Amino acid sequence: MAQDSKATLAASEIERLDSRRLPGPNLFFQGAGAVIDARVPKALAPALIGGWQRHLVRALGVLEWPLGAVVGHANPGGVSLAFEAPIDTLYAATEVNEWAFAAARAELLGTAGVSLDAALPDLQRAIAKESQPHLAALSRAADEQGVCFLHDPGSVSVGMGGGARLFPRDGVPSPDNVDWDGVHDVPVALVTGTNGKSTTVRLLAAIAEHGGLVPGLSSTDWIRVGGHVLDEGDWSGPGGARRVLRDPRTEIGILETARGGILRRGLALRRADTAVVLNVAADHLGEWGVWDVEHLADAKMVVTKIVGPKGRCVLNADDPLIAARAARVAAPIGWFSLRADLPLVRGHLAAGGAAAYLDGDELVLHHGERRQTLIDVEQMPLAMGGAALHNIANALAAALAADAVGIGAEAIARGLAAFGRNHAENPGRLVVFELGGVRAVVDFAHNPHGQEALLAMADRLPATRRLVVLGQAGDRDNESVDELVRITWRHRPDLILIKEMRRYLRGRPPGEMTGRIEAELRRQGARDADFEHVPSEIAALERALKWSKPGDLLMLFAHAEREATIAYLEGLVSRGWRPGDSLPPLPAEGTYSDS
């Protein structure tokens, strides 16, 4: 009875949370494979990992699968259990992984499990049904030819851009039947980080255009090739990368690469010319096996694994988490920094390396003995006269990445000088309106790291008074919400508008998030006159405009109604609106959907 009671208690604590394919390079290894995320008490994690490894290796031997990397990783929330598998049998690989986990779990609990002999016929049928020898052969042949290989459940391709050849997955040819003479790649840049990804890929695309290339870019807002938007929505994962790289018009691929795609599926491709890691900060922790910022940094650095010896990994020298991982990077590194005198950068340059940095008011590109001044911050719209340091960092990263793929300094400078004059080029990011002496800034800032960068910028901008619109989605953990509030209060705005975000409650009841924000503000010393509650982002916009006077700065952090906010402010500019004038009718909630 005691044993049964113990098993029942432990069984409720050991749970498989997710089982998924990893079609490309990922947090655990360079190849494809499968991973399970599981909840388990910390004390039991080593035993679960050990049992899983033992059962898995035995199953792979019986199935006559090649034994590649087998990785068991303990984390604050449990374990991740991953192993390499052939790319043509990844669904079957998840079934093998699930059996090994179930066997280890049963063994740990002292309960009856499913024997390998009993599971073997189903596993063998799954492998036989999915197996495609031509797919694996084509993958190997692409590597031998030195060209890209992309695959998804419906299609397979070799090459990129005008050199891409696309085949249906159920009609993959033998490598001998492919005309390899016409297959070629285009330069590819991956951009990741907690904040600044979208701005950097758009800026890099503008630079590429000034360099005479047709950029294909995937991002959280759209897929675009040249001036043509192929699809809108969040395409910052492998699916967006494949669509861009398979488009025959693409002459350079610029791929926003978000944490979620890396963790869920790995990278879409196995080689890139340059990879940019902008920054790492706590965001979306507790998802896909990542529970702390150290592990998140490891996930971001996955993009550096696919850059070869002739490429360049562009890394932020001002970010300690990134700098600490540089020794693991095999490819050449280009450092970017807001400090010209940073020892890490100076030592790297002395050794003949590449760097980009801010020297006074100038952006400098430096490689060995070659030092080139690109642009003054006053000439770069995104820099806001030097106040937007986070965008200067993004520009330095974009310059290093552009240089890595052969775009000249003159084209880089032209791109930096041109980008951002029209806010449609970078929608939702640092959109600035001048309204009769009032400056209104609309941005998508949605985590503490981004909020700090923008509020620090606001401090550097001249203003008589400052207002901040503050809110957060319900799926963020309480500590990150509190940190967002603490950061905001440290900058001492004259008024904080706490907004309800009904479209982003995500499991929390109305009023819970706004109540938490108020409670933390009060803990920090805020009084009744320092903040107000507003029922929506549109109501926040209306209150901010009615509150404003010439000389004020309005920081309008918009999420659910970002497009509506921008469109309304555009209308005010065209009308010549000034503080104190009556406001035209505001849009209804949800008029412009940003979901």
Domain limit, last residue, from 113, 130, 147: 130
* pLDDT score at 473: 80
86-95, 442-451, 524-533, 553-562: least confidently modelled range: 442-451
Find residue 38's DSSP bridge partners.
16, 79
Determine contact, residues 57/71, Cβ cutoff 8 Å: no
Q: Model confidence over 485-527: pLDDT tens digits?
A: 999 999 999 999 999 888 777 778 888 889 999 999 999 999 9
Q: Is the pLDDT of residue 8 over 70?
A: no
Q: Is the pLDDT of residue 74 over 60?
A: yes
CA distance 409 to 413: 6
CA distance 199 to 110: 53
Rg, the chain, Cα only = 26
Do 138 and 268 lie in one domain? The reply is no
25-34, 282-291, 482-491: least confidently modelled range: 282-291
Unique residue bearing structure tokens 């029922």? 535
Domain limit, last residue, from 360, 393, 425: 425
Find residue 90's DSSP bridge partners.
none
Do 241 and 378 lie in one domain? The reply is yes
Please report whether residue 586 resides in a domain: no
Distance of CA 535 to the CA centre of its chain: 30
- Tokens representing 476 are 């963020």
Helix, strand and coil in the chain, % to nearest 5: 45, 25, 35
Nearest-5° Cα angle at 488, 484 to 493: 160
Q: Model confidence over 9-23: pLDDT tens digits?
A: 456 689 999 999 999
Domain, as residue range, for 217: 188-425
* pLDDT score at 122: 95
* pLDDT score at 594: 37
Q: Model confidence over 175-232: pLDDT tens digits?
A: 999 999 999 999 999 999 988 899 999 999 999 999 999 999 998 888 999 989 999 8
- Tokens representing 102 are 């179930």
Report the CATH number at residue 387: 3.40.1190.10
Find residue 158's DSSP bridge partners.
149, 165
Closest among 303, 356, 355, 358 to 331, alpha carbons compared? 303
- Tokens representing 244 are 């861009």
* Residue 492 backbone dihedrals phi, psi, to 5 degrees: 50, 60
* pLDDT score at 284: 60
Is 11 buried (19+), middle (13-18) or exposed (0-12) by CB count in 10 A? middle
Please report whether residue 97 resides in a domain: yes
Q: Is the pLDDT of residue 395 over 80?
A: yes
Tell me the average pLDDT of the chain: 91
Q: Model confidence over 365-377: pLDDT tens digits?
A: 999 889 999 999 9
Do 304 and 225 lie in one domain? The reply is yes
Please report whether residue 53 resides in a domain: yes
Q: Model confidence over 132-161: pLDDT tens digits?
A: 999 999 999 999 999 999 999 899 999 999
Do 99 and 140 lie in one domain? The reply is no
Do 314 and 395 lie in one domain? The reply is yes
Pairing of strands 553-557, 438-443: parallel
CA distance 370 to 347: 15
- Tokens representing 247 are 């488009």
Do 207 and 341 lie in one domain? The reply is yes
Do 99 and 160 lie in one domain? The reply is no
Please report whether residue 585 resides in a domain: no
* pLDDT score at 97: 97
Do 112 and 258 lie in one domain? The reply is no
Q: What percent of the chain clears pLDDT 90, i.e. is strictly above it?
A: 75
Do 160 and 214 lie in one domain? The reply is no
Do 407 and 447 lie in one domain? The reply is no
CA distance 450 to 7: 46
* pLDDT score at 574: 94
Binning pLDDT at 50, 70 and 90, where does residue 283 land? Answer: low
Binning pLDDT at 50, 70 and 90, where does residue 595 land? Answer: very low
Mean pLDDT, residues 80-108: 95
What residue type is 364 in one-letter code?
V
Q: Model confidence over 244-278: pLDDT tens digits?
A: 999 999 999 999 998 888 988 999 999 999 999 99
Do 437 and 414 lie in one domain? The reply is no
Please report whether residue 77 resides in a domain: yes
Domain limit, last residue, from 425, 453, 477: 425
Binning pLDDT at 50, 70 and 90, where does residue 590 land? Answer: low
* pLDDT score at 3: 42
Please report whether residue 112 resides in a domain: yes
* pLDDT score at 7: 46
Please report whether residue 453 resides in a domain: yes
Report the CATH number at residue 490: 3.90.190.20
Nearest-5° Cα angle at 254, 251 to 257: 150
Mean pLDDT, residues 432-450: 88
Per the model's pLDDT, the better-predicted residue between 566 and 1 turns out to be 566
- Per the structure, the count of domains in the chain is 4
Do 13 and 49 lie in one domain? The reply is yes
Q: Is the pLDDT of residue 4 over 50?
A: no
Binning pLDDT at 50, 70 and 90, where does residue 451 land? Answer: confident
Unique residue bearing structure tokens 């996955």? 302
Binning pLDDT at 50, 70 and 90, where does residue 49 land? Answer: very high
* pLDDT score at 2: 38
Please report whether residue 448 resides in a domain: yes
* pLDDT score at 285: 60
* pLDDT score at 232: 87
